[in-house]
A and B are shown apart, each in its own frame.
Chain A
Amino acid sequence: MTEPLLSVRDLVVEFPTRRGMLRALDGVSFDIAPGEVLGMVGESGAGKSITGAAIIGLIEPPGRIVRGEIRLAGERIDNLPPEAMRRIRGKRIGMVFQDPLTSLNPLYTVARQLIETIRVHLDMSEAEARAHAIGLLDRVGIPAAARRIDDYPHHFSGGMRQRVVIALALAAEPELVIADEPTTALDVSVQSQIIDVLKEICAERGAAVMLITHDMGVIAETADRVAVLYAGRMAEIGPVRDVILNASHPYTSGLMASIPTLVQDTDRLVQIPGSMPRLNAIPSGCAFNPRCNQAFERCRIEQPPLIDVAPRHAAACWLAEEETKNDG
């Protein structure tokens, strides 16, 4: 494996609140290779979006990174001065947000927002930037881009706006694109189009993607590898196929089982009993143990580390350790 484009090691993010520190991320580590698509799944509040915000350096204060490091192409970026980090945002790491209806400034034309972004990062004249912007809009599939560029965001539909957002995120050809639930707010009929556009353009420019979603279907179709987060900790990470077919963490198995299929004729949808613990009430040992039907004594006392279950596939579960022992 080549040197990873993005390397996150033992990342801990905390939010001070009146009732003590909330640990939103607790020792998360993962890599993204150049051009790779990493899917990141988990329930709301599992820490997916915080991970994205931490990488791009936009954690809302008073939240902050208290431990760990983030490296982009080998260079540490989690402790850069604000101005240096600003130059990385948009230029080397692009970001696509969840809701295209609110991601664009309603008072400025699409042209103005694109041109200002391009000119911040690339040495271009107004006219060159405009031509570049029209090319981008055309590439993300906006018909009559040269004419539509002077429209305001409210002239576009939700799907079209998300295309504009993607064009903005990719304006300066970043090496990494963080897409935070890019299709959640969209109509089902345009979701796959947007994912396709994102995937195609990133593939064509060799940009890696960190795709944050709670839609396992999107992950299965799009991602090379998948990371499963639970209560701010990495539960399982590995190639998509491996994780889907051989889920080693009971939480991942539960997630997979809860995807409804048309083939099986069931009356009830499968669900994981209980709900994710609040961040100020995470149980000792494995955070998932109260909901796990295979939990045993050790799970309640000792927090499991990520244990390799197959090449490049690891799960934070004591059962995985048992299995690997038995195999060996």
Chain B
Amino acid sequence: MLAFIIRRIVQSALVMLVVALVAFALFRYVGDPISSMVGQETSLADREALRTTLGLNDPFIVQFGRFIGNAIQGDFGISYRLQQPVMELILQRLPATLELALVSGLAAFIFGVSAGVYTALNRRGFLSTGIMAVSLIGVSLPTFLIGILLIWLFAVELQWLPSFGRGDTVALPGGWTTGFLTSSGRQSLILPAITLGLFQMTLIMRLVRAEMLEVLRTDYIKFARARGLSNRTVHFGHALKNTLVPVITITGLQLGAIIAFAIITETVFQWPGVGALFINSVRAVDVPVMAAYLVLIALIFVIINLIVDLLYYVVDPRLRVERGAARH
């Protein structure tokens, strides 16, 4: 178990190193950092002097080493556009994105699994057919369109929910701002969370349904029935747990995707998260922010992957290898 965790952490570190290399290359070679810092009238000699003081004339490996060293300490430099430390900017915006991703991810998982199980158990039912038809829409409609449709229906026509922003937030100790504690914050969360989570929900639902149907055909389910276990025990005790093994992986990766692709939803709803920050930075060629965002998203993916691997381990006893192969 410990060896497994250490191996996975080393692998994760390698992945992060590669991503950091890409981020660094972006930072260092997309445009000239000096020209975005100084004005038009700075002389070539001054530029060269600045270049030397900033260490931009050092060998590549030294510069990369310095980048990594700073990144580990959370230092990604100063934003060109906002003239603030990049890390500070991201930390300000991160709570908004994480709260949005958490709510939509959780909702997608809960509704996805329930609907998946329901449609698998009542395959030919009227409601199942309906859910499957609606899920097809969820899978095929692009996110921005869903967002706009929701805004039109619930914000413009019905005027039930706000169409943009995060509502009022409450600052918690540690620099975290939360929208959960105010009613306008909670209301503002609903539409973006649906928009962001709908695709994931339908995906999880279809996956759970397919896996569940597969599991229900297995011998151990037939044997469980032949032993006289109740339908409830068979479906939720035996079938569901086996269904969840592959579902965990996909759901984990989807959570990463939710955070990374919140960009579109955040843009549609003017949500003040890191996604919106990234889009604005791209427009302004704010390279330090882009590089930091890249590293951050990679870090989130790597951490989620690590957690998924460990969860696998908890759910599936066959992976607990230290007890050895079949004993006789």
Interface residues of chain A, those whose CB is within 8 Å of chain B, are: 56, 58, 82, 86-91, 94-95, 97-99, 102-109, 116-117, 120-121, 151-152, 154-157, 160, 165, 168-169, 171-172
Tell me which of A87, A89, A106, A121 contacts B226 (CB under 8 A).
Answer: A89
Scan residues 28-48 of chain B and give those whose CB is less than 8 A from a CB of chain A.
Answer: none
Interface residues of chain B, those whose CB is within 8 Å of chain A, are: 218-220, 222-231, 233, 237-238, 241-242, 245, 315-318, 323-324, 326-328
CB-defined contacts of B318 to chain A, threshold 8 Å: 106, 152, 154
Query: Contacts A87-B228, A91-B228 given: A155-B327 contact, CB under 8 Å?
Result: yes
Instruction: Report yes or no: A116 in contact with B328, Cβ–Cβ below 8 A.
Output: no
Instruction: Report yes or no: B222 in contact with A97, Cβ–Cβ below 8 A.
Output: yes
Instruction: Report yes or no: B317 in contact with A152, Cβ–Cβ below 8 A.
Output: yes
Query: Contacts A116-B233, A152-B317, A152-B318 given: A86-B228 contact, CB under 8 Å?
Result: yes
CB-defined contacts of B242 to chain A, threshold 8 Å: 105-107
Q: Interface on chain A toward B: helix, strand, loop, or mixed SS?
A: mixed
CB-defined contacts of A98 to chain B, threshold 8 Å: 219
Tell me which of A88, A102, A154 contacts B228 (CB under 8 A).
Answer: A88
A186 to chain B, nearest CB (A): 14
CB-defined contacts of A99 to chain B, threshold 8 Å: 219
What 17 new A-B contacts, CB under 8 Å, besides A95-B227, A102-B219, A155-B326?
Answer: A56-B226, A58-B226, A86-B225, A88-B228, A90-B227, A90-B228, A91-B228, A95-B223, A99-B219, A104-B220, A104-B223, A106-B318, A107-B315, A152-B318, A156-B327, A157-B327, A171-B227
CB-defined contacts of A94 to chain B, threshold 8 Å: 226-227
Nearest to B237 among chain A residues (CB) is A116
Q: List 27 A-B contacts (CB under 8 A).
A: A88-B228, A89-B225, A90-B227, A90-B228, A90-B229, A94-B227, A95-B226, A97-B226, A102-B220, A103-B219, A103-B220, A106-B318, A107-B242, A107-B316, A107-B317, A116-B229, A116-B233, A116-B237, A120-B229, A120-B233, A154-B318, A154-B326, A155-B327, A157-B326, A157-B328, A160-B328, A169-B227
Nearest to A118 among chain B residues (CB) is B227
Give the CA-CA distance A30 to B327 in the complex, in Å: 42
Instruction: Report yes or no: A107 in contact with B227, Cβ–Cβ below 8 A.
Output: no
Task: Output the residue of A88, A105, A121, A151 with the most chain B CB within 10 A.
Answer: A105
CB-defined contacts of B233 to chain A, threshold 8 Å: 116, 120
Query: Contacts A107-B317, A155-B323 given: A97-B228 contact, CB under 8 Å?
Result: no
B151 to chain A, nearest CB (A): 44
Instruction: Report yes or no: A103 in contact with B223, Cβ–Cβ below 8 A.
Output: yes
Tell me which of A56, A86, A106, A151 contacts B230 (CB under 8 A).
Answer: A86
Instruction: Report yes or no: A97 in contact with B223, Cβ–Cβ below 8 A.
Output: yes
Instruction: Report yes or no: A106 in contact with B317, Cβ–Cβ below 8 A.
Output: yes
Give the CA-CA distance A157 to B229 in the complex, in Å: 25
Instruction: Report yes or no: B228 in contact with A121, Cβ–Cβ below 8 A.
Output: yes
CB-defined contacts of A155 to chain B, threshold 8 Å: 323-324, 326-327
Give the CA-CA distance A191 to B224 in the complex, in Å: 23
CB-defined contacts of A87 to chain B, threshold 8 Å: 228
Query: Contacts A103-B219, A104-B223, A105-B242 given: A156-B326 contact, CB under 8 Å?
Result: yes
A232 to chain B, nearest CB (A): 21
Give the CA-CA distance A255 to B169 in the complex, in Å: 82
Query: Contacts A107-B316, A154-B317 given: A117-B218 contact, CB under 8 Å?
Result: no
Tell me which of B224, B324, B328 contacts A105 (CB under 8 A).
Answer: B224
Give the CA-CA distance A102 to B218 in the complex, in Å: 7
B318 to chain A, nearest CB (A): 5
CB-defined contacts of A56 to chain B, threshold 8 Å: 226
CB-defined contacts of B229 to chain A, threshold 8 Å: 86, 90, 116-117, 120
CB-defined contacts of B218 to chain A, threshold 8 Å: 102
Give the CA-CA distance A114 to B65 in the complex, in Å: 59
CB-defined contacts of A89 to chain B, threshold 8 Å: 225-228
Give the CA-CA distance A87 to B228 in the complex, in Å: 6
Nearest to B228 among chain A residues (CB) is A90
Instruction: Report yes or no: A117 in contact with B219, Cβ–Cβ below 8 A.
Output: no
CB-defined contacts of B238 to chain A, threshold 8 Å: 105, 108
Nearest to B245 among chain A residues (CB) is A107
Give the CA-CA distance A289 to B165 in the complex, in Å: 81
